[in-house]
Structures are given as C-alpha cells and as structure tokens.
Amino acid sequence: MPKCIQNSLSDQVYTMLKEQILSGQLKGGMKIPEESLAEQFGVSRTPIREAIRRLSEYGLITIKPRSHAIVSIITEQEANDIAKVRVTLEQLAIDSIDDASYAENVKELSRYAADCQYAMGIGDRATVFEQDSLFHLALVRSSRNSALINICERLDAKIQQLRIAQNLPEDELSYYLSQHSQMMSLLRNGDKEACKQLLYEHITHDLTRHIAGNRT
Amino acid sequence: MPKCIQNSLSDQVYTMLKEQILSGQLKGGMKIPEESLAEQFGVSRTPIREAIRRLSEYGLITIKPRSHAIVSIITEQEANDIAKVRVTLEQLAIDSIDDASYAENVKELSRYAADCQYAMGIGDRATVFEQDSLFHLALVRSSRNSALINICERLDAKIQQLRIAQNLPEDELSYYLSQHSQMMSLLRNGDKEACKQLLYEHITHDLTRHIAGNRT
DNA sequence: GCATTGTGTACTGTATACAATATTGATATC
DNA sequence: GATATCAATATTGTATACAGTACACAATGC
C-alpha cells in the first residue's frame, strides 16, 4: 500500500526518522535537535520540523514547546491501553467484513501470514513485525470503513513500537503468528464471534509481561 | 481541559483556522492558499503551514501536494463510517469506567448535559454542539484509557464537522440531547449494557438522513 | 471547433536569517 | 555545602527569500 509519492524532502525525512525510531536506532527519551537532524539528512530545518511535527501527531515523538523534542517513551500502562483499543477496532473491522471484501482480500492476507511464518523461520524479527502489521492493516482495510482504516493506520506506528519493546520470546511469538491462519479460516467459515475471540487473545495475550524497560 | 498554552503563533492559527472551518466560515472544497491566510492572520507563511499540516492530520483539510490545500468535504459514507467507529470507541469507554472514575467525573458530565439543554432552550446550536462534544469527551476521559482518549479527541474535530453538516431538525436534536441524562442514570445504576445500547441509538439514530450537500 | 502545446503566473517546497526563549554552568549568597 | 541569581549558549519559533512545480489560458495545428 503506497502511502505517498515521497517526492518531498519532508516526506523522505518523515519516513527515515520513523524507521530510525522503530528500528531502535533512536531510543525512547533521546533528544532530537532539529539542527543535528538537518545536518545528518543534509537538508534544512524546515523539512525536519515538518517531519517531527507529523511524527508527534502519531505519538512517536514528544514535543516540549520552545524547548526540544524527544523520542516518545512507551509505558506499560500505555501498552495496555493501546491493546484494548486495538482489539476493539479490529473486532469492529471483522464485524464489517462481508463475503465480497473477504474474497477480495484473502490472497493478500494469506501472503502476509505466510511471509510472517517464513520470516520467523529464518529468525528475521524485523520482517515478522512488518508483515504482521501488514496482515492486521489488510484485515482492517477489508472492513472498507475509511475512518476505521485511518485510525488503525495511524495507530500502527505506536503498535510497531510496542511490538519491539515487548521483545516476546521465540516460542510465544511463533504461537502468536500461527493464529493468523486460524483467524482466516474462522472468517472463511463465517464464524465472526470465534474470530473476534481469537483476535482478542492474539492481541492481549500476555501483552505487557515482557515489556522492556525504556531508559532515558 | 486545556490542550495547549497557545503561545505559539502556529497554535493560535491552528485554533482559529479550526474554528473557521467548524463554524462554516470556510466551506468544504474551498481553496486555502497559504499566503492569503498569512495576510489575513497577519503572520508569515511558516505558522500557517504548520497549522494546515496539523489540521490535515485531523482530516479537516486535504493537502494536494505541490498544488494547494482545500477544506475537506465530508461524504455521507464517511459520516456513516465515523459513526460506527465512534460508537465502538465510546462503548469501550463505558466498559472501562469504574465506580471511582464515574464518581470523579459525574459532576462534569452533568454540567455539560445541563449546558446542552440550556443552550437548546435558547436556540444556540453552536453551544449545543460544543457542549455535546465536551460531554462525550468527558465520558471517554472517564475511561482513563489514554490511547482511547487520544483517538477520540482527535476524531472530535471530524465529528463536530459532521454534526454541523447533519443539520438535525430541532425536535430530533432535542430528543437526542435528553439521552445524555438517561445514559448517566444507567451508568449510575451500573447497567452498562443498557447504556451502551442507548449510546448506539444516540449516535447512529438517523445519522445521515439530514446530511447537507457540500458544494465546491 | 477540438485537441495540443507553450508560456506566464501563482503557489508550494525549501533554505536561510533573525528573534525570542529555555537551558546550562558559573558565580554569589546564605 | 546547598540554593538562588545571572550571563552565555544552544535551540526553537518565525519571517523572508528563492527555487521549482502545477495550473490556467492563450496560441497553434489539425
């Protein structure tokens, strides 16, 4: 799903900065002065400012007015809060899916589920998380509810940050991924209630047990 | 609930621009060139740009890259989509409210409900809508779920736009407002299921029947 | 008359310069 | 030694200037 043509410097900086935060290269609590970023990216402060402001709307950066911006720190409480909202929203998505949109999206969903499994097999966690995000976003898109899609896409950045902070052990992550295809077969059989229940477990299962502490 | 100290020009422009859009002074589809806004507000293009970009994140403005920005147009489909999401989110809020947080927020909720009724009595629709928003946001805040609160606050701008576009007839609006206190008494009695059901009716009841057409 | 191309204008995107404020560290005071 | 005060510095907030692109409209060819 191409989000933007990415021709403007603002967009490019936005994408790269987001990647640096989600990859852990920029850690929670770190100061990010505009000028040093401008030097790093070889652009002026203007596109940097725009990217920072956009990312702050997504909760990945916290701006202290007239002072400085830091990479947001995710707390255990916040993780729980997000999980609850996420379950609710994705359950709404499931409720909204009809046969036609399921048929239209089933191929995409299977591919993401398979790619997740494959990446897990070769121990590539970054790809696992990426494909997992894509799976859930595709599920949400199947709802065809534009407002829902919007909110979930915007929440996705925070969820990615969360997934990384969670640092789930291999066996749990693997189990968790196997639920993707289970959810799909439940959907195919039209058993939405079971699917929603499984989704709940999929998302909230021991969510915060493994949250890694954020250091400043 | 103070959102921001509002000392920066960007914030001020943001607030005023938002008001102009929600008051209908700036109509859906209208072009909003940075320079003319800059002149109007007596500031440079920089704070204007930042305000426009922020409002575009909230869906109130649509930016056509390298071309121009317009005031977003709300469609009937979008209105329905938002309503569904809104019901879901506010129902989650109701589920999350416990006795303590209800006790803490009941005064605020009653005040907003009462102010709504009063404003309705004197035919001040702008205040009705404003207080209605505050009522629902206070309800959501009672959940103490920061992620939920965030999303609902961000969705609020779009909901306000929607309420205005709806242009509900007086009797319906009046009936709709009376449900506020009903919801509160259900909450007080701990009957969350009934409260959620009423909320559903409150929000989706004939939602799009009166949507006013947007002109370019 | 209609499509196509070219040109001018208007607007956005970005860089830079300046102003205003917060932070830091040193100094003074208790 | 701890706290308060102040100056120097670093960083943000805003204005302005310039470059590049999209759009409108006229000119040209069919």
Distances (CA, A) of A59 to A157, B11, B63, B81: 8, 18, 21, 24
pLDDT tens string B89-146: 999 999 999 999 999 999 999 999 999 999 999 999 999 999 999 999 999 999 999 9
Statement: residue A198 has pLDDT above 60:
yes
Both B49 and B93 in a single domain? Answer: no
Q: What is the CATH number of the domain that holds A88?
A: 1.20.120.530
Return the minimum-mean-pLDDT range out of A64-73, A83-92, B138-147, B166-175.
B166-175
pLDDT category at A167 given cuts 50, 70, 90 is confident
User: For residues A7 and B10, what is the distance between their CA atoms, to the nearest angstrom?
Assistant: 25
A207 versus B2: the higher-pLDDT residue is A207
Confirm whether any atom of chain D, the nucleic acid strand, is less than 7 Å from CB of A2: no
Q: Do residues A26 and A20 make contact, with C-beta atoms less than 8 angstroms apart?
A: yes
Give the nearest chain B residue to A148 (CA atoms).
B85
Q: What is the pLDDT of residue A206?
A: 55
In a shared domain, residues B86 and B171 = yes
A10 CB burial (10 A radius; 0-12, 13-18, 19+) = buried
B69 touches strand C (CB under 7 A): yes
Residue ending a domain, among A49, A71, A93, is A71
Q: At what angle do helices A146-166 and A76-96 cross, to 10 degrees?
A: 140
Q: What is the pLDDT of residue A208?
A: 45
At A186-196, the pLDDT tens digits run 999 999 999 99
The predicted structure's pLDDT at residue B6: 65
Q: Are residues B100 and B30 in the same domain?
A: no
B175 is a domain residue: yes
Residue B48 lies in a domain: yes
Q: Which of B54, B71, B88 is the last residue of a domain?
A: B71
Over 80: is that where the pLDDT of B207 sits?
A: no
Shared domain for A96 and A171, answered yes or no, is yes
Q: Is the model's pLDDT at A70 over the cut of 70?
A: yes
Contact B91, B143 (CB under 8 A): no
Clarify whether residues A171 and A96 are in a common domain.
yes
pLDDT at residue A165, as a whole number: 86
Given an 8 Å threshold on Cβ–Cβ distance, is B151 in contact with A66?
no
- Give residue B165's pLDDT: 86
The number of distinct structural domains making up chain B is 2
Last residue in a domain, options A31, A46, A71: A71
In this structure, the answer to whether residues B22 and B83 fall within a common structural domain is no
Residue B206 has a pLDDT of 55
B50: chain A residues, CB-CB within 8 Å: 49-50, 53
Across the range A135-154, mean pLDDT stands at 97
d(CA B206, CA B80): 10
Q: Is residue B141 included in any domain, yes or no?
A: yes
* Residue B209 confidence (pLDDT): 52
Neighbours of B168 (CB within 10 A): 19
B2 falls within a domain: no
β-pair partners for B109: none
| A87 and A176 inside one domain | yes
Each residue's pLDDT tens digit, B21-74: 999 899 999 999 999 999 999 999 999 999 999 999 999 999 999 999 999 999
Range of the domain at B65: 9-71
- A187 and A93 in a single domain? The answer is yes
Judgement on whether residues B50 and B98 belong to the same structural domain of the protein? no
**Residue B122 belongs to some domain of the structure:** yes
pLDDT at site A213: 45
- Residue A4, domain member (yes or no): no
Domain identity same for B103 and B177: yes
Please tell me whether residues B81 and B13 are part of one structural domain.
no
Are residues B51 and B89 located together in one domain of the fold? no
CATH number for the domain including B18? 1.10.10.10
Give the closest-approach CA distance of A131 to chain B in angstroms.
23
A35 CA, C14 C1': Å apart: 15
pLDDT-based confidence at residue A128 (cuts at 50, 70, 90): very high
Q: Is B84 on the interface with A (CB under 8 A)?
A: yes
- Determine the Cα–Cα distance for residues B81 and B90; give it in Å rounded to an integer: 14
Is residue A54 one of the residues assigned to a domain? yes
For an interface test with B, which of A7, A8, A81 has the most B Cβ atoms less than 10 Å from its Cβ?
A81
Question: Residue A214 domain-assigned?
Answer: no
pLDDT in tens, A1-23: 333 446 899 999 999 999 999 99
